[in-house]
Each structure stands twice: as structure tokens, then as C-alpha cells.
Amino acid sequence: MNLHADPAAFAEPDDGIAKGAVLLEIRNISLAFGGVKALTDISFNVRKGEIRAIIGPNGAGKTSMLNVVNGFYTPQKGSITFRGRERRAMKPHHAVGQGIARTFQNVALFKGMSTLDNIMAGRSVMMKRNILWQMIWHGPALKEEIAHREVVEEIIDFLEIQHIRHTPVGKLPYGLQKRVELGRALAMEPSLLLLDEPMAGMNLEEKEDMSRFILDVNQQRGTTIALIEHDMGVVMDLSDRVVVLDYGKIIADGAPDQVKNDQGVIDAYLGVPH
Amino acid sequence: MLYRTAGQFKTSYAEDHALFPVRQDAMLLGVILLFAFVILPLTASAFTFQALLIPVLIYALAALGLNILTGYAGQLSLGTGAFMGVGAYACYKLITIFPELNIFLAIALSGFFSAGTGVLFGLPSLRIKGFYLAIATLAAQFFLVWLFQKWGWLYNYSSSGAIQVPNIEMFGVTVTGPRASDLVQYYFVLVVVCLVTWLAINITRGRIGRMWKAVRDMDIAAELVGINLMRAKLTAFFVSSYIVGVSGALFVFMWRGAAEANLFDISLSFRVLFIAIIGGLGSILGNYLGAFLIVALPVVIGAVPAAFGIPISSSTVEHLNVMTIGALIIAFLILEPHGLARLWAIIREKLVLWPFPH
């Protein structure tokens, strides 16, 4: 087994979009729960190969935005174009089929399963052998299992979690759980990876590790990333472009430096005297 | 010392995916199979076959079926007894309509009737979870037992309302009915149980097993990795009810010899559920340990005082049995919710390191 993940093994996701072109286009999205307006007239885009950050104060609608993108919520208005195809209503497993993977703010792992099984579960959709082959196990089902195991082991090497391969994830510390969750999302070989606060509750060292993984995923595998994060240092260093939400509206969109000095953003974070 | 795993290296993923990656486990299984297939049949008495060996195997199979649904896929069911009944009645009808049908095939086919019923009553699981689903399966339990009583066609309109297992031969040997020998029935059950267990292990360790466990542990995340919840839940109901149905057919054809509707009532469902809980939810081995405990307990409670010359009435044995099982269930739920299978896993972990503490 190779100890160093081979960059050539990570083929760039083939989604028919050239690097730098628009991968995800969000147009005039509005989402309301009864009378509560979560998102109002949101438009922005994510270009292929970039790291796009979504920031904003608590309750600004960042997570709702991700939930719309991967099909958990259906917006009342607006459209989403992903990989050149427009859609309005969809289910999460359709989003998976199109190549969108995500991690959660509160770790959403399968607690009773081992690290290996959790990451293997990320490849469920790609495994095709039916229940009869599974029952016999030896032969095609085992062959398929091993083929996918090899890919999963690449990811395990990449994230440096070899030592917890067979540990039930419920027993792992929080930082490692976050890493396993990233591994499960990577196993789906997404063309767009949504990360909801990948560094929440981590110490400095863990944050540095996670930042390195995010950059490596972006550069080595060519995966486009949209992330929500509260640590401004991380956001400004990692991302290519930042969109800022407040009360469900976009208040700024642009390069990190430009956003950092925007008066509206400063007001939203620090508050303004009334 | 006995369980030392040092020096057993895996050089391929195929080796790591073997059923028993640790050599000692495979040897242990070999010894158990040797006992089951050779030593026990040579030494056991007719009483041991009827009171211990055959029921242990059949109950273990029923618990295995339930465990796939509840332990692996996380869908609570209280209708196991009724699904066993569906298997038994289906098998009875199959052999009355097609008397020439091989009994092995009839039992295998009867599982499909139970599986279909299971999927039908599993449909509410797409909407409801936990205790509410348990109530829905409880409805199946009462409805089906009522159906077994009222639908005369099922028991060929016999005046007693019961089904009687006829003598059936397979390859010239009588395998069911009053004329069948215990030894033949034991081997028949053993072969079926081993086969089904092997298939069940294969399903649970592959893609479908992971799918079920994912749904059990966190259904939102399961949907997120592209698992179709409806398909996952309904396949769990299908496979589980199939196994339960086969165990029900064995229950009547290979052990009881006759059955009436209330044999499959809620107390049977609970009995199987207790076996699964005491044995360990989410484990295959646990079903055997649990079944052994539950079936052997009354035999032991009845035999031990007699061996010491203390007179004990059968009703006292029954009371003691119920009390002990109740106490055991409470103890397990508090002390070791993962059951006997987890206890064995802990013992095994300690044995690997023994004699060192860490």
C-alpha cells in the first residue's frame, strides 16, 4: 500500500465545465418558512475550481442557502443552475447524483459504524451489485467491494486517519469526526463540495490541519468548494471569493480584501449605533 | 495468549475482508460446527433434541430475522410472531396444494409470502419512526393472528382450526410429521440455519448492510450520501420478514408438528424480541447466544433442583423462568445494552491482550 497519496490517482471531477467557468449559478432565490423570510432574492455564483466562502452573522441564512443548494429545502422563488442544467425542486439524493456532496455543522456521521464503513457508505451510490450477488459475496460483490475499498484507502491516507480505520466513529474525538465526515464527502467524488463550518469547535492545530486538507482537496483533486466559516482568519486566507449574508440578504460579494473593508460588512458584524 | 493476533498480517484487501480475519475465530467456529454437526447428534437424547437443540436453532433464526430489521436497519417491529405465522401457514398451503413439492423448496418459498407481508406492513416506516412504527407493526400482529383464526381456507377448514403437519419424505427419508426422527429434523434445521446465517452475514457486511446501518444511525445523513431511504427500509423489511417466515415454517414443520393461530400471538413476538435484545441488537452471533439462554433457561431451572433431589412443580419452574427472564432483560438494558454479543467482544479483546492489562 502506498503511504503517500498519489496526486495522479485523484482525477479531476469530469463535469464538462472548464476551470474558471461558472459551475453553480444561483439566481434570485427566496425562501420563507411561513412568515419568516430566511433568504430574500439571493444571487451569486460559484466558479469551477475556486474556494467560495459564505459568511455572515448567526441566523443570516448561510446554512439555509446550503440546504437549498443540495435539495433539503425547496425555495419559493428563483432557480439554480448546476453544471449547465437548471432545476427548481429536487431531493437530496438527486443532488448527490449530480455531484454535490456536503458536510454538516453538527457532525452527521453514522455513529455505530467504523471510520472505514462511514467512508465506504459515501460510495453507496456507485456500488451496483444487487442483493443476490451480495448474498453470495464471493465473486463480483467482493471484487466491487475491494475496488471501492482501494479508493477509500486513498482517502484515508490523504486525511491521515489510518490508525482509526476500524474504530467506531462515535468513540472518536470531535476533530477526527470532522475529518471522517470530510472523508465521506470526498468518497462521493463530488464536483462541488459544500462544507458547513468545517472548523467549528476546533483548536488551532486542528484548524491548521483542516485548512491544509481543504486546500489540498481543492488543488490536487480540483474540487470546487463552497464553505461556511466563522473564523475570519481562515476565511480570508483560504477563499478566492467571499459572499456575505445578513438577514437573508446579500450585503457584499467579492475578493476577501474587498469584503473585509466593506462598510456594510463591518456594520453587520460590529453593529451600528442607532 | 490463546487469542494472540500478533504475526497475522494481511497483505491484500481480500484477506482483510475475510469472514474471520483472526485465525483463532475461524478455529473456534470450526470447533462449534464440529460439535453441531458431529458430536451433538451422536450423543444427544430425544429430549435434548426436542427441548433444546432444535428450538434454539429455530428461535435463533427468527431472532436473526428480527435483528436485521431492528438491530441493523433500526426499524422496531413487534409483529415477528405473526410474520412467523405467515411463513408457517404459507408452507402448509403450499404442500397441500402441491403435495409433490420438495419440502426444502416449500419452506424456501414460504419465506417470500412472509416477505411480501412484511413489506406491506413496512410501508408505514416511510412516514413514521420508533415507537409509532412499533404500534403499526403491532397492528399487523393482531390483524394477522385474527386472519389465521377466521380464514378457514388457511387451515383447510379443519374442525379444530389447527394445522397438522403431514408426513413428508425428501429423498426417501421422512423429514416432517409424526414419523420423522429427531435426528433428521435436527440436521434439516441445522443446514437451513447455517445457510441462512451465511447469506445474512454476507448481506450485512456489504453495501446493503452499510446502507441499513446508515439509515439506523442517521437517516438524514444517509439520504445525503445518496441512499434511497425508501428502498433501504423496504429491503430491510423484505429480508427480515423472509428469514422470519422461514423460521416460522421450520417452527411448525420441524418442531411443533401442529399449530393453531394463537401460537403466533404477541407473546411469541416478545420472546423473539427478548432473544434479540439479550443476544445483542446489531449482531449475528448474539441471536444464537440469546436463543440458547432463553431456551435453555427453563430446562436448567427444571433440571437443577431435581438433580439435587428437591421436588419442584412445573408451575414453579414456569414462574421462576418468567421472573429470571424479566430480571435478565432489565439487567441487560441497564448494564449492557448491546447484549451477550458485546460481552463476548469484550472478553475477546481482553483475551487478545492477556496476560497484560493494556
CATH 3.30.930.10 fits A22-97+224-274, yes or no: no
Chain A CB contacts of B221 under 8 Å are 104, 108-110
Report the 3 state secondary structure along chain A.
Answer: CCCCCCHHHCCCCCCCCCCCCEEEEEEEEEEEECCEEEEEEEEEEEECCCEEEEECCCCCCHHHHHHHHCCCCCCCEEEEEECCEEECCCCHHHHHHHCEEEECCCCCCCCCCEHHHHHHHCCHHHCCCCHHHHHHCCCHHHHHHHHHHHHHHHHHHHCCCHHHCCCEHHHCCHHHHHHHHHHHHHHCCCCEEEEECCCCCCCHHHHHHHHHHHHHHHHHCCCEEEEECCCHHHHHHHCCEEEEEECCEEEEEECHHHHHCCHHHHHHHHCCCC
The pLDDT confidence band at residue A118, using thresholds 50, 70 and 90, is very high
**Closest partner residue to A93 among B13, B223, B235, by Cβ?**
B223
CA distance B211 to chain A (A): 7
Is residue B303 within 8 A of residue B51, CB to CB? The reply is no
Supply the pLDDT for residue B250.
Answer: 95
Calculate the average pLDDT of chain B.
89
Is residue B60 within 8 A of residue B213, CB to CB? The reply is no
Cα–Cα distance for residue pair B212/B207, rounded to 1 Å: 9
Q: Is residue B358 part of a domain?
A: no
| A97 close to B (CB below 8 A) | yes
Q: Do A124 and B214 touch (CB under 8 A)?
A: yes
Interface residue of B12, B112, B210 to substitute, partner A, most A CBs within 10 Å: B210
**SS3 (DSSP) at B196:** helix
**Closest partner residue to A184 among B203, B217, B225, by Cβ?**
B225
Q: Minimal Cα distance from B338: which residue of A?
A: A112
Supply the pLDDT for residue B243.
Answer: 96
pLDDT score of A2 more than 50: no
pLDDT score of B353 more than 60: yes
Q: Do A109 and B221 touch (CB under 8 A)?
A: yes
The single-letter code of the amino acid at B57 is L
Chain B CB contacts of A150 under 8 Å are 13
Chain A CB contacts of B14 under 8 Å are 142, 146
Q: Minimal Cα distance from A128: which residue of B?
A: B207
pLDDT score of B227 more than 90: no
How far from B268 is each of A157, B85, B149, B160, B274, CA to CA, in Å? 49, 10, 16, 21, 10
Q: Do B213 and A142 touch (CB under 8 A)?
A: no
Query: Which one is the CATH code of A100-189: 3.40.50.1820, 2.40.30.260, 3.40.50.720, 3.40.50.300?
Result: 3.40.50.300
The pLDDT confidence band at residue A259, using thresholds 50, 70 and 90, is confident
The pLDDT confidence band at residue A13, using thresholds 50, 70 and 90, is low
Q: Is residue B21 part of a domain?
A: no
Kindly state the average pLDDT of the residues A75-87: 86
Residue A57 sits at φ, ψ, to 5 deg, of: -65, 170
Interface residue of A102, A137, A151 to substitute, partner B, most B CBs within 10 Å: A137
| A59 close to B (CB below 8 A) | no
Grid coordinates 495468549 are at which residue? B1
- The pLDDT tens digits for A23-63 are 898 889 899 988 888 899 999 999 999 999 999 888 888 98
Assign residue B143 the CATH number of its domain: 1.10.3470
pLDDT score of A1 more than 70: no
Q: Do A121 and B218 touch (CB under 8 A)?
A: no
Q: Do B202 and A150 touch (CB under 8 A)?
A: no
Q: Do A112 and B217 touch (CB under 8 A)?
A: yes
**Closest partner residue to A108 among B211, B220, B228, by Cβ?**
B220
Q: How many CB pairs under 8 A join A and B?
A: 99
Of A79-83, B19-23, B186-190, B238-242, least confident by mean pLDDT is B19-23
Q: Do B14 and A142 touch (CB under 8 A)?
A: yes
Chain B CB contacts of A167 under 8 Å are none
What residue spans define the domains of chain A?
A: 22-97+224-274, 100-189
pLDDT score of A18 more than 80: no
Q: Is residue B131 part of a domain?
A: yes
Kindly state the average pLDDT of the residues A129-142: 84
Supply the pLDDT for residue A8.
Answer: 44
pLDDT score of A10 more than 80: no
The pLDDT confidence band at residue A142, using thresholds 50, 70 and 90, is confident
Of A107-116, A242-251, B11-20, B315-324, least confident by mean pLDDT is B11-20
Tell which wins on pLDDT, B9 or A242.
Answer: A242
Supply the pLDDT for residue A11.
Answer: 53
**Closest partner residue to B210 among A91, A124, A146, by Cβ?**
A124
Q: Is residue B187 part of a domain?
A: yes
Supply the pLDDT for residue A5.
Answer: 45
| A127 close to B (CB below 8 A) | yes
- The pLDDT tens digits for B120-179 are 999 988 888 888 889 989 999 999 999 999 888 888 888 888 888 888 888 888 888 888
Supply the pLDDT for residue A7.
Answer: 45
The pLDDT confidence band at residue B188, using thresholds 50, 70 and 90, is very high
CA distance B220 to chain A (A): 8
Q: Is residue B1 part of a domain?
A: no
Q: Is residue B64 part of a domain?
A: yes
**Closest partner residue to B207 among A97, A113, A127, by Cβ?**
A127
Report DSSP letters for B58-69, one per residue.
HHHHHHHHHHII
Closest to B258 in 3D by CA, of B157, B176, B144: B176
Q: Running DSSP on this structure, what letter comes out for residue B166?
A: P
Of A41-50, B2-11, B210-219, least confident by mean pLDDT is B2-11
pLDDT score of B288 more than 50: yes
Chain A CB contacts of B202 under 8 Å are 134-137, 141
Interface subset of A 187-206, CB within 8 angstroms of B: 188
Q: Do A124 and B226 touch (CB under 8 A)?
A: yes
Tell which wins on pLDDT, B13 or B192.
Answer: B192
| A70 close to B (CB below 8 A) | yes
As for how many domains chain B has, the answer is: 1
Cα–Cα distance for residue pair B72/B93, rounded to 1 Å: 32
Residue B284 belongs to what domain range? 47-353
Chain B CB contacts of A93 under 8 Å are 223, 226-228
Q: What is the ipTM of this complex?
A: 0.85
Chain A CB contacts of B226 under 8 Å are 92-93, 96-97, 124-125, 188
Supply the pLDDT for residue A266.
Answer: 85
Topology agreement, domain A22-97+224-274 and domain A100-189: yes
Supply the pLDDT for residue B113.
Answer: 96
Chain B CB contacts of A102 under 8 Å are 224
Of B70-84, B190-204, B336-350, least confident by mean pLDDT is B336-350
Chain B CB contacts of A145 under 8 Å are 17, 206-207
Q: Is the C-alpha dihedral spanning A262, A265, A269, A272 positive or negative?
A: positive
pLDDT score of A206 more than 50: yes
Rg over CA atoms, chain A:
19
Q: Do B214 and A121 touch (CB under 8 A)?
A: yes
Cβ neighbours, 10 Å, residue A265: 19
Q: Which residues of B touch A (CB under 8 A)?
A: 13-14, 17, 199, 202-203, 205-208, 210-211, 213-214, 216-218, 220-228, 235, 239, 282
Calculate the average pLDDT of chain A.
86
Q: What is the largest distance, in Å, between two alpha-carbon atoms of chain A?
A: 72
